[in-house]
Structure 1
Amino acid sequence: MTTPFLNPRREIPDGMRFTEWRAADGWPLRSYAWPQPGTARGSMLFLTGRGDFIEKYLEVLIHWHGLGWNIAGFDWRGQGGSGRMLADPLICHQTDFDPLVDDLTSFVDRWIAETSAPHVIVAHSMGAHLTLRMLARRPEGIDAAVLASPMIGIRIKGVPIWLVGGLSRAATLIGLAERRISGRDIGDVGERMTSCPDRRADKLWWKATKPEIASGVPSWGWVRAAFASIARLPDTVLAVIRTPILLVAARGDPIVDVAAIEHAAALLPNAELTIIDGGGHEIMREADDRRLPVVARIDSFLALTS
């Protein structure tokens, strides 16, 4: 029997459990699992983007759990309920994305061993980028992947991307790597993340209710690390990732480069691409008229794996 939710975006579902696990270097990471009470159709690993926490995506996880998937995932190091990089927890900082790829690889190895097949990954933005990097390293055991608004290239409206890369390198060289790139959380400005005011309010509600999981603006070090990590996915690497992949994005995404996503889709040997009109970066948290067709497209794609 399905549990009723007054607001599914603001309630932890019955049966979802959070635990701490330690990365290979001892870093504390918050993970969660929401298994099926009976036989599952398969297991889904859900991965969030930069500065995210899993509570933002409860609505869509409830949907997929209702379709029979075991659900699992974790907060990336430096954000959510995982150990932070800096004394100021609201600065989203990294010096290198390689430890994030290592964390993901370790988690996937354990997850595959402990859960039922098929094993699929649904990942957003930075999480989608890191999924591609992991698949280039170890594709074994992953039956399909959905990459929503994948961070294959970065876009900042009105600013040449070469200038952003140059500024991040210069800031790091003069000792400003841990400084925030902006005085305000640019993710909360206007409709950049989602055009849905209710879902924007949900994010702020969670940050106020559980401030320990909140993150904010990226550091210059994070920006430089992101550019370096993107450079590790050249055309030659993408062209050998044979995992079935669905890429979905909004045409006007203000955060990631949609042209780069289209280019990657043409290179990946077993990829499908869906671009929607309108909406922000977080297309799984959009208003229903945009969100539901995206979720239906994902469901159709994943149906081929189970």
Structure 2
Amino acid sequence: MTLVSTPKNPVPLGANAGYLDVRKGVKVRYASWQSALQQRGGTVCIFPGRNEYIEKYFEVVGELRRRGFAVAIIDWRGQGGSTRLVRGSSRGHIRSFIDYEQDIYHFMKGVVLPDCPMPYYALAHSMSAPILLTPRPSAGAGSIV
């Protein structure tokens, strides 16, 4: 499994985790969980902040699932368990803002849309909020971002 469990922060049960190939040599880590209730309220997509990672949100994942939501979360490229674009594993770096748009596109297309129930909600922390709120001129009708 690609998620790290500790005695004080165990991986919530039922995790589906892996990597998405967003381009040659770049993998983005993700995890998802179905709701813990039969009555479902949709899916909360969690977009962590700068220098954050999936494991930091295990408590939030558990709470959302207990409230009837499925949960999907991503490690942005350059952070968490995703590919680093520069040498030095403690550095996060992107070449262009488009890198984040590609991460969102592949996350939605590969994880959320095929496996998670609608409606979709976004929980964005720190740097993720402006990433999600930035207008995308190329995002037209039928776009998933």
TM-score category, normalised to shorter length: 0.7 to 0.9
Deviation of 1:115 after TM superposition, in Å, equals: 2.0
**Number of residue pairs the alignment of both structures matches:** 135
Structure 2, unpaired ranges of 5+: 1-6
Give aligned-pair identity as a percent: 27
Paired with 1:29 and 1:88, the residues of 2 have a C-alpha distance of 17
Deviation of 1:81 after TM superposition, in Å, equals: 0.5
Residue 36 and residue 75 in structure 1: after superposition, are their counterparts in 2 closer, same or farther (change >3 A)?
same
The structure with the greater share of residues assigned to strand is: 2
Larger radius of gyration: 1
Question: What is the aligned partner in structure 2 of residue 131 from structure 1?
Answer: 132
Paired with 2:21 and 2:131, the residues of 1 have a C-alpha distance of 19
Paired with 2:140 and 2:24, the residues of 1 have a C-alpha distance of 20
Paired with 1:93 and 1:44, the residues of 2 have a C-alpha distance of 26
Deviation of 1:124 after TM superposition, in Å, equals: 0.7
Q: Which one scores higher on RCO, CA 8 angstroms, separation ≥ 6? A: 2
Paired with 2:95 and 2:78, the residues of 1 have a C-alpha distance of 11
Mapping for residues 31-180 of structure 1, pairs under 5 Å: 31-36=30-35, 38-110=38-110, 111-133=112-134, 137=139
Question: What is the aligned partner in structure 1 of residue 28 from structure 2?
Answer: 29
Contact 1:46 1:122 in 2 (8 A): yes
Question: What is the aligned partner in structure 1 of residue 3 from structure 2?
Answer: none
Residue 17 and residue 113 in structure 1: after superposition, are their counterparts in 2 closer, same or farther (change >3 A)?
closer
Paired with 1:135 and 1:80, the residues of 2 have a C-alpha distance of 25
Question: What is the aligned partner in structure 2 of residue 18 from structure 1?
Answer: 17
Residue 141 and residue 64 in structure 1: after superposition, are their counterparts in 2 closer, same or farther (change >3 A)?
farther
Paired with 1:47 and 1:132, the residues of 2 have a C-alpha distance of 12
Structure 1, unpaired ranges of 5+: 1-5, 143-306
Deviation of 1:135 after TM superposition, in Å, equals: 6.5
Residue 138 and residue 62 in structure 1: after superposition, are their counterparts in 2 closer, same or farther (change >3 A)?
farther
Residue 112 and residue 135 in structure 1: after superposition, are their counterparts in 2 closer, same or farther (change >3 A)?
farther
- Any idea what the Cα deviations from partners look like across 1:222-260, whole Å, max 9, x if unmatched? xxxxxxxxxxxxxxxxxxxxxxxxxxxxxxxxxxxxxxx
Deviation of 1:139 after TM superposition, in Å, equals: 8.4
Contact 1:112 1:141 in 2 (8 A): no
Contact 1:101 1:134 in 2 (8 A): no
Amino acid at match of 2:101: V
SS of 2:134's equivalent? helix
- Any idea what the Cα deviations from partners look like across 1:196-218, whole Å, max 9, x if unmatched? xxxxxxxxxxxxxxxxxxxxxxx
Amino acid at match of 2:43: S
Deviation of 1:112 after TM superposition, in Å, equals: 2.3
Contact 1:20 1:30 in 2 (8 A): yes
